[in-house]
Amino acid sequence: MKEIVTGLMAYGMSGKVFHAPFVNAHPGFKLRAVTERNKKIAAADYPGVISYDTIEDLIADEAIELIIINTPNYTHYDYAEKSLKAGKHILVEKPFTATSTEAKALFELADSVGKKIFFYQNRRWDSDFTTVREVIQSGKLGKLSEVHFRYDRYRAAIGPKTFKEEPLAASGLMYDLAPHLLDQAISIFGKPDSFYKILGKNRKDTKVDDYFSIHLSYPDSVNVFVHANLLLVDPLPAFVVNGSLGSLHKRRTDIQEEQLLKYMKLDNPIYGIEAEGSEGKLTLIDEEGNKSVQLLPSQRGNYLPLFEAVYQSIVNDVEFPVSRGQVLTQLEILEA
C-alpha cells in the first residue's frame, strides 16, 4: 500500500484529537512532521515525528505530500496558497476560507499545479447525524416540512482564542459552528433555493456574534433551520425532523471527541459508541391516526472514513464526498 507522507500544521487540541490519531491509524498515511512553536510534545505520542518550529519549515519539507491545515480560521487562505505552491495536497479545516472568492482562487491554483484540495467536514461522520440522515433518506417520515439542526452550548465567558473572539476574518460563532451545520444540511438537501440569516450578540462584552439562525428554503416547502447559541442553559434536541408521517428528535451525543481527549484508541470496541440512554425518539403515525414510538440506537461514529476518502482520492482519483460546489454554497451563505 502506498503511504502518503503527511504534515500537520498545528499540534494543539485539533491536531491531537481530530487528525493525528486518524493519520496514524490509517495504513495509507505516514505522519512525518508537525509544527510546534512552543511545547514539543508530539514525539511523546508519535515517536520519530519531526517537530518544526515554523509552518514555513513544514511547508518546505520536500518529502511531505499532504498538509493538514488546522490553524486559526483567518490563516487558512494564506497557508493553503503557500502549501499548494509548494506542491502539496491540502486538507483544510472548516471554514475552508473566509469568502467564496478566496475559495475559487485556491481551486484555480490547485488545478494549475495539479494538486488536490480536501475539506475537513468531519461532522458528516458523527454518530448522531448519520442516524438522523438515515431516517430522513429512508422516507419513514413522509413528506418533510420542517428540519432543525442545532449546535448549542453554554459559554458565557469570552474565550481565550482571539481568532474566534476578535472581529477578524471568519471569526465569531457563525464561522465556528455554521460550517458544520450547513454542511450537514447541504449534504442531504443540496443547495437551497433561498436563505435568511439572523445573527446576535448576547454575551457581556462580546465583539463577535454568539448566536445565529439560518433558514434554508428548499423546493416543495421543505424548510431547514440551522441554529447555534452560546447562552443556552438547557439545550434543545440537536436534531428535530418533522414530516407528514412522523417526527424524529435526537440529542447531540456523538462521543468521539470526548473519547479521543482521553486517548482512547480507534480500535477500542467501544470507540464511537454512544452511551446508553442517548437513543433518538422516532414517532410515527399510521393511516388510522395511531401513534407508535421507537427509540433508535445510533450508528457508530468514526471519522476514519474521511481520511480513507482523502487517501482514495489521491491514490485512485476517487471523488471526495465533500465537493467544491457544496463548500461554495456554504461560504456564500456565511459571507452574505
Instruction: Look up the CATH number of the domain holding residue 291.
Output: 3.30.360.10
Would residue 266 count as lying in a domain? yes
CATH number at 67 reads 3.40.50.720
- Lowest-pLDDT choice from 27-36, 62-71, 153-162, 200-209: 153-162
Angle separating helix axes 76-85 and 100-113, nearest 10 degrees: 10
Query: What is the value of pTM for the model shown?
Result: 0.96
- Does residue 326 belong to any structural domain of this protein? no
**Residue 98 forms part of a structural domain:** yes
Q: Do the domain assignments include residue 210? A: yes
- Do 110 and 135 lie in one domain? The reply is no
- Split at pLDDT 50, 70, 90, the class of 1 is confident
SS (H, E, C) 150-170: EEECECCCCCCCHHHHCCCCC
How confident is the model over 131-145, as pLDDT tens digits?
999 999 999 999 999
Mapping DSSP to helix (H, G, I), strand (E, B) and coil, where does residue 140 land? Answer: coil
Query: Which band of pLDDT confidence, cut at 50, 70 and 90, is reported for residue 331?
Result: very high
In this structure, are 230 and 91 located in the same domain? no
Examine the domain organization and report whether 195 and 176 are in the same domain: yes
For 325, phi then psi, to 5°, come to: -60, -40
**Does a structural domain hold residue 323?**
no
Asked whether the beta carbons of 176 and 212 are under 8 A apart, the reply is: no
Domain-embedded: residue 321: no
Is 189:132 a contact under the CB 8 Å cutoff?
no
Over residues 182-199, the pLDDT tens digits come to 999 999 999 999 999 999
**DSSP code string of 163-210:** HHHSS-TT-HHHHHHHHHHHHHHHHHH-S-SEEEEEEE--STT-SS--
**pLDDT at res. 38:** 86
Give the residue-averaged pLDDT of 308-336. 98
Residue showing cell 452574505 = 336
**Judgement on whether residues 117 and 145 belong to the same structural domain of the protein:** no
Domain that holds residue 227: 127-300
What average pLDDT does this structure show over 76-104?
98
Residues 101 and 183 in one domain: no
Count of all residues that appear for the chain in the document: 336
Closest C-alpha among 151, 164, 166, 209 to residue 73: 164
Residue 117 sits in the same domain as residue 169: no
Instruction: Tell whether 114 and 172 lie within a shared domain.
Output: no
149 and 293 inside one domain: yes
% the chain with pLDDT above 90 = 96
Could you tell me if 179 and 232 lie in one domain?
A: yes
Tell me, what's the pLDDT at 162? 84
Q: How confident is the model at residue 77 (pLDDT cuts 50, 70, 90)?
A: very high
Quote the CA–CA distance of 33 and 117 in Å, as a whole number: 19
Confidence of residue 103 (pLDDT cuts 50, 70, 90): very high
201-248: per-residue pLDDT in tens?
Answer: 999 999 999 999 999 999 999 999 999 999 999 999 999 999 999 999
What local confidence, expressed as pLDDT, does residue 57 receive?
98
d(CA 146, CA 222): 6
State whether the Cα torsion 284-287-288-289 is positive or negative: positive
322 belongs to a structural domain: no
Q: Is 136 found in the same domain as 111?
A: no
DSSP class of residue 231 equals B
Let me know whether 89 and 219 are in one domain: no
- E-strand stretches of the chain: 4-8, 29-35, 50-52, 66-69, 89-93, 117-120, 144-152, 194-200, 211-218, 222-229, 239-243, 246-250, 280-285, 291-296
Supply the pLDDT for residue 311: 98
**Domain for residue 55, yes or no?**
yes
Q: What is the mean pLDDT of residues 88-93?
A: 98
Which sign, positive or negative, has the C-alpha torsion 93, 98, 100, 105? negative
Mean pLDDT for the stretch of residues 299-309: 97
Helix pair 324-335, 100-113: axis angle to 10 deg:
150
Our count of domains for the chain comes to 2
**Shared domain check, 277 and 151:** yes
